[in-house]
Amino acid sequence: MEKMSSKLDLALNDFRAAINKAQEEPRQYNKISNNVYKPEQSRFKLVIWFNDGNRRTFYSYDNVYNNKIVHVDEHEAICKLLRLIHQHAGNFKNAQIYATLDPERNKASNYNYLIYWAKWNGQVTKNSAAQFKVEGKNSLLILNRLEVYSEKQFVK
């Protein structure tokens, strides 16, 4: 079990894996719901400045429910935000994903670490300090690595 966990840890710890996974086609669901989920906790925030002058902010959905037990999957949360950027490709000037180091992941936290920046011309800048780890059934961003190894241009 320990070997499997370490292999999974190695696969998830690189931010490139999240970018590659986000380019895959997501599973299609036929479920229709009128419920609009607005998360109270979020590790990542996506801000998109559209060509028409509007700006929209999206928060990550970090919690995954399995048999009524909550697990935190920040890797999948950032993949969803990256898919959202690809969905709006060509319609925006800038799209930026920020992370917060707040352990509680409150939406009111200071999102001051730039993780990903996509520009209108297709140029992409990634923060190489963003890596993930697996703790039990949770997939988490390595916060102290992000804080220590982020370059000055990635800190807001």
Decide if pLDDT at 98 tops 90: yes
> In 66-103, which positions are buried (b, 16+ CB within 10 angstroms) versus exposed (e)?
eeeeeebbbbbbbbbbbebbeeeeeebeebbbbbbbbe
Residue 13: which residues within 8 A CB-CB, separation 6 or more?
Answer: 131, 132, 133, 142
Rounded to whole angstroms, the Cα distance separating 61 from 147 reads 22
pLDDT category of residue 8 using cuts at 50, 70 and 90: low
| CA atoms lying within 13 Å on the CB side of residue 99 | 29
Say how far apart CA 134 and CA 117 lie, in whole Å. 25
Q: Average of pLDDT values for 103-119? A: 88
Query: Helix H segments across 66-112?
Result: 74-87
Average pLDDT, the chain: 82
**pLDDT tens-digit map of 39-87:** 778 899 999 999 998 999 999 878 877 788 888 888 888 989 999 999 9
